[in-house]
Amino acid sequence: MRTTIAKKEDVNQKWYLVDAKDKILGRIATTIANKLRGKDKPTFSPHMDCGDHVIVINADKIKLTGTKMDSKKYYTHSGYPGAIKEESAKRLIERKPTRLLELAVSGMLPKNKLRKVFMKKLKLYAGEEHQHSAQSPEVLEV
In a domain, 21, yes or no: yes
Summarize pLDDT for 79-125 with one digit per residue, the tens.
Answer: 999 999 999 999 999 999 999 999 999 999 999 999 999 999 999 99
User: In whole angstroms, what is the distance from residue 15 CA to residue 36 CA?
Assistant: 10
Residue 65, domain CATH: 3.90.1180.10
User: In whole angstroms, what is the distance from residue 5 CA to residue 46 CA?
Assistant: 10
Query: Which range of residues forms the domain containing residue 110?
Result: 13-139
DSSP 67: T
In a domain, 102, yes or no: yes
In a domain, 6, yes or no: no
User: In whole angstroms, what is the distance from residue 91 CA to residue 88 CA?
Assistant: 5
Summarize pLDDT for 34-45 with one digit per residue, the tens.
Answer: 999 999 998 899
